């Protein structure tokens, strides 16, 4: 299994209504300071309906980018019960999934 596959597989553990950060996802597959690599991997996600890359956000609480636009990412997260205000997750600490 290559690194991208490991990242996608790990991301599948994050349930609806929870999010993870690029950094936490990187650490979960053994990458130290791998946030940018995780971001590039999310951008190349071949199965966005199956692999929920919209659940990966910045450690600051900002939602970060999304291949289909930030407005779509915001809608997907809202539909899963994640509240967002001014592009940031509300109550970030209680929404982060711990691997």
Catalytic residue among 25, 38, 42, 53: 53
In whole angstroms, give the CA distance from residue 96 to residue 21.
Answer: 8
Global confidence as pTM: 0.94
The domain segmentation of the chain, as residue ranges, is: 3-95
Predicted confidence at residue 39, as pLDDT, reads 94
Sign of CA dihedral 99, 48, 64, 95: negative
Q: Each residue of 22-34: pLDDT tens digit?
A: 999 999 999 999 9
For 48, counting Cβ atoms within 10 Å of its Cβ (0-12 exposed, 13-18 middle, 19+ buried), the class is middle
Q: Each residue of 58-95: pLDDT tens digit?
A: 999 999 999 899 999 999 999 999 999 999 999 999 99
Predicted confidence at residue 91, as pLDDT, reads 95
In whole angstroms, give the CA distance from residue 93 to residue 73.
Answer: 19
CATH fit for domain 3-95, picks 1.20.1370.20, 1.10.10.10, 1.10.630.10, 3.40.50.300: 1.10.10.10
Whether 75 is a known active-site residue: answer: no
**Owner of token pair 């690599």:** 37
Contact 14, 76 (CB under 8 A): no
């Amino acid at each position: 299994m290559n690194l991208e596959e490991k990242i996608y597989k790990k991301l599948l553990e994050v349930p609806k209504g929870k999010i993870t950060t690029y950094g936490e996802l990187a650490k979960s597959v053994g990458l130290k300071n791998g946030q940018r690599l995780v971001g590039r991997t999310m951008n190349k996600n071949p199965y966005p309906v199956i692999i929920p890359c919209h659940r990966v956000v910045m450690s600051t609480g900002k939602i970060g980018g999304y291949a289909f636009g930030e407005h779509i990412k915001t809608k997907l997260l809202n539909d899963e019960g994640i509240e967002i205000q001014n592009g940031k997750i509300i109550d970030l600490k209680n929404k982060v999934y711990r691997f």
